[in-house]
Amino acid sequence: MKNKWSIIVLSVLIFSSCAVVRQGEVGVKSKFGKLSPDVADAGLVGFNPFTSRVIKVPVRTVNQEVKLNLPSKEGLTIESEISILYSIEKKQVPFILEDIGENYENVLIMNVFRSAAADVTAQYMAKDMHSGMRSEIENKIQDRMHESLRERGFEIERVLMKSIQLPTELSRAIERKLKAEQEAQQMEYVLDRERKEAERRRIEAEGTRDAQKILAEGLVREIIELRSIEAFRELSNSPNTKIIITDGKTPYLINSQD
C-alpha cells in the first residue's frame, strides 16, 4: 500500500511539473517573478511548480474584434465593428511580457488601435466609410498601428472594418443619392440608345439615297432601249389581243381584250 501511494504522489508531482505548450504558442518560464529569456516551442515543458510557472503566449494570427464609435470629418459619430489581425514575433515574447505584461492586448494593442482609428477616420467624411474608400481607411489605420507596434514585436497583418452603422438621416440621404445616380445612368443609357438608333437611320437613308443616285446615273439610252425590247417580248408572248402604238422604241398599249 505504501508503494502505491508513493507512485501516486510521484505521478502527481511529475504531471504538475510539466506544462503543455500547444501549436501556435510559445512558453516562457517565470521563476520567482523573473522571466527567462529562452522561449519554449510546442510540446512538454518541465518546471518546478513550487518556484516557477510557464506563461503561454500565442504567436499565431490572432483575431481581435472591437466595437468602437468613430468620429468623422463632419463631426458625426459612426458605430463600427472592426477586426484586428495581428501576430507576435516569437523572439520578442519575453521582452513583451517583461515590458507590458500578460495583458498586452488591452494595455497596448487596443489603445494604439483606438488612437490610430480615431485619427484616421476624423480625416474622412462619414459616407466615405460606407463606400469604396473603406479599404483606404483600413490600410491607413493598419499603417499607423504598424509604426507604433512593429519595434515592440507585434505584426499588424490586417485591419478590417466589418460593419459601419451610419446615422439614420445620413443613410437615407446616401440611399436617395444612389437612387438618383442609378436613374441618371438609366436615362443616359436610353438617350445613348436613341442617339445610336438615329445614327443608324441616317446612315440607312444615306445608303438608300446613294443607291438611287447610282441607279439613276446608270439609266443610259442603251439600257432604256434594252428594257423596251424586253417589254415588247413580254407583250408578244401574251395570249390576249392588244393594239400597240409604238415608234419602235417604247410601246404604248391603247386597248386590250381577254
Q: Give the pairing of strands 43-46 and 52-58.
A: unpaired
pLDDT for 253: 44
pLDDT string in tens for the chain (258-residue length): 555 545 544 444 444 567 777 888 888 888 887 888 888 887 777 766 777 788 889 999 999 999 988 888 888 888 889 999 999 999 999 999 988 988 999 999 999 999 999 999 999 988 888 777 889 999 999 999 999 999 999 999 999 998 888 766 665 665 567 667 776 777 787 778 888 888 888 888 877 777 667 666 655 566 666 666 666 666 666 666 666 655 555 544 444 444
Place of cell 519554449: 40
Beta carbons of 240 and 256 less than 8 angstroms apart: yes
For the chain, report the end-to-end CA distance as a whole number of angstroms. 142
What are the backbone angles phi and psi of residue 129, rounded to the nearest 5°? Answer: -75, -15
Instruction: Dig out the grid coordinates for 187 from the structure.
Output: 436615362
Q: What is the DSSP string of 201-240?
A: HHHHHHHHHHHHHHHHHH--HHHHHHHHHHHHHHHHT-SS
CA nearest neighbour of 170 among 210, 130, 227, 209 = 130
In 70-80, which positions are buried (b, 16+ CB within 10 angstroms) versus exposed (e)? Answer: bbbeeebebeb
Instruction: Classify residue 109 by its DSSP letter.
Output: I
Residues in the chain, how many?
A: 258
Instruction: Dig out the grid coordinates for 244 from the structure.
Output: 400597240
Instruction: Dig out the grid coordinates for 68 from the structure.
Output: 468602437
For CATH 3.30.479.30, list the domain ranges present in the chain.
62-171
- Beta partners for 243? 255
- Domain 62-171 listed as CATH 3.30.479.30: yes
pLDDT for 220: 56
User: How far apart are alpha carbons 4 and 9 in whole angstroms?
Assistant: 9
The total of other beta-carbon atoms located within 10 Å of residue 208's CB is 10
Instruction: Classify residue 129 by its DSSP letter.
Output: G
